[in-house]
Amino acid sequence: MNLLLALLLTLGDLSSVAPPQGAKEDDPLAPVLAKLRETAGKSVVAIDVEREADPDGSMGSGVVSQHRDYYNRPKGPTSGVIYEDGFVLTSRFNISGTIRKNGLKVTLWDGRQLVGTLAGSDEQRDIALIKIDAKDLPVLARADASAIGQGTFVALLGRSPERSHATVNVGILSATSRMNKTAVQTDAEMNYGNVGGPLVTLKGELIGVACNIKPDTVWGQSGGVGFACKIAEIDKLLERMKKGEHIAAEKRPFLGIRAGEGNPDVEGIQIVDVLKDSPAEKAGIKKEDVLVELAGVKITDSESLKEALEPRKIGEEIELKVMRKAKEGWQEKKFKLKLEGKAEP
């Protein structure tokens, strides 16, 4: 079954739905997008932020100059989703920096623009809660988490750069347990405009809030890998955020390497970068080494590395086994290092 047919079967009869602006009348996908815009799109808001300073909007240190526009946060609006009357959810990244007085504005689907205030946030999950003075707002129904699995068709909604209508990017769930089991992963196109918007089923049911797009991430934006914090995880934090709490990210064991894909010659994962002054650098691990074992656990991909590192403790000394390219071929090398703690998603 192809993608288009599956979408149409999922949504049922769309013959009465008008095509969205700019779509060709004979475009078979147009009714799918139009229905989501007209229904779930009413729960999506545009967020404008006037900042005194923007520490999270500058280009990452490892990015070459020709990609500056790709990695820099634009000055236009971004997205959020109505959680309940008086409250909007968005990405913490969207409201980071020093905001001017009355510089946080929320535009609703009907054109009303309201001044918002930051109620609370969670750094670990990259989620923020904005308070607005509004009632009788459209709230999305929740998706049944047990019915959502890998390969489920989803849509990511936003309201940027045009505040007048919602944007819709369709994709699939490529993983259901990311960011320490707090998020799902999708290939629906994610960027600085729609981050903070809702990830929904094709029936418009809320799965989570798009998060974790930052200038210094390896994938940047629109890289085919996007994350959305699960709505059930956000529910757990709501009362704390309503009370004004800004929850710091928990420190986790940190190696100080950036891992790439596997190496065709050696089973393991290629180390594409070793961070300065990190445990890995101090131990003598180098860029282009291939990590094959951590604390006795075989490493075959990034997920096995994460699983091997998760039970370890900050301050614990562990052994890493790598393969290093030499003139006479690959050589096995072992290193001992002490894990340090770092707050990261």
DSSP for 104-168, please give it.
EEEE-TTS-EEE-EEEEEETTTTEEEEE-S--S---PPBP-GGG--TT-EEEEEE--S-TTS-EE
Which tops the pLDDT comparison, 126 or 12? 126
185 shares its domain with 205: yes
Q: For residue 72, what pLDDT is reported?
A: 73
Q: Of 247, 264, 285, which closes a domain?
A: 247
Residue 102 has pLDDT above 80, yes or no: yes
Q: Please tell me the total count of domains within the chain.
A: 2
For residue 173, the cross-strand partners are: 186
pLDDT cut 90: percent of the chain above it: 60
DSSP for residue 224: S
User: Would you state the pLDDT for residue 58?
Assistant: 61
Whether 14 has a pLDDT exceeding 50, the answer reads no
242 shares its domain with 258 = no
| Higher pLDDT, residue 302 or 321 | 321
Q: How confident is the model at residue 307 (pLDDT cuts 50, 70, 90)?
A: confident
Q: 304 or 134, which is more confident?
A: 134
Say if residue 66's pLDDT is above 70.
no
Q: Domain check: are 216 and 283 in the same one?
A: no
61 has pLDDT over 80: no
pLDDT at 341: 86
Look at residue 17 in the predicted model and tell me its pLDDT. 41
Same domain, 218 and 256: no
Q: How confident is the model at residue 112 (pLDDT cuts 50, 70, 90)?
A: very high
178: in domain: yes
Query: How far is the C-alpha of 33 from the C-alpha of 20, rounded, in Å?
Result: 7
Average pLDDT over residues 276-289: 93
pLDDT recorded at residue 1: 41
Single residue among 247, 264, 294 that ends a domain in this structure: 247
Which band of pLDDT confidence, cut at 50, 70 and 90, is reported for residue 344?
low
| Mean pLDDT, range 48-72, rounded to an integer | 66
Strands 246-247 and 117-122, how do they pair? parallel
Residues 260 and 334 in one domain: yes
Q: 274: which strand partners? A: 257
Mean pLDDT in residue range 280-290: 94
Query: Does position 212 have pLDDT exceeding 80, yes or no?
Result: yes
Nearest-angstrom CA–CA distance, 216 and 234: 24
Model pLDDT, residue 62: 44
Q: Which residue would you say has higher pLDDT here, 161 or 199?
A: 199
DSSP string, 262-277: E-SSSSSEEEEEE-TT
CATH of the domain at 270: 2.30.42.10
149 within some domain: yes
What pLDDT does residue 23 have? 46
Classify residue 297: in a domain, yes or no: yes
pLDDT one-digit tens code per residue, 76-100: 899 999 999 999 999 999 999 899 9
Q: What is the CATH number of the domain that holds 110?
A: 2.40.10.120
Verify that 49 and 159 share a domain, yes or no: yes
The pLDDT, as a whole number, for residue 151 is 92
Lowest mean pLDDT among 126-130, 150-154, 249-253, 270-274: 249-253
Q: Which domain does 286 fall in, by range?
A: 251-343
Q: What integer is the mean pLDDT of 217-238? A: 80
Per the CB < 8 A criterion, the answer to whether 269 and 291 are in contact is yes
pLDDT at 207: 98
Same domain assignment for residues 316 and 219 = no
Show the tokens assigned to 71: 């990695």
219, 247, 275 — which closes off a domain?
247
Considering the domain architecture, whether residues 268 and 140 belong to the same structural domain is answered as no
pLDDT value at residue 288: 92
Which comes out higher in pLDDT, residue 326 or 157?
Answer: 157
**Mean pLDDT, to the nearest integer, of 5-28?**
48
Which run of H or of E encompasses 70? helix 68-71
For residue 261, is pLDDT > 70?
A: yes
- Mean pLDDT, the chain, as a whole number? 85
**Alpha-carbon separation of residue 64 from 70, 72, 109, 144, 308 (angstroms):** 11, 12, 38, 43, 32
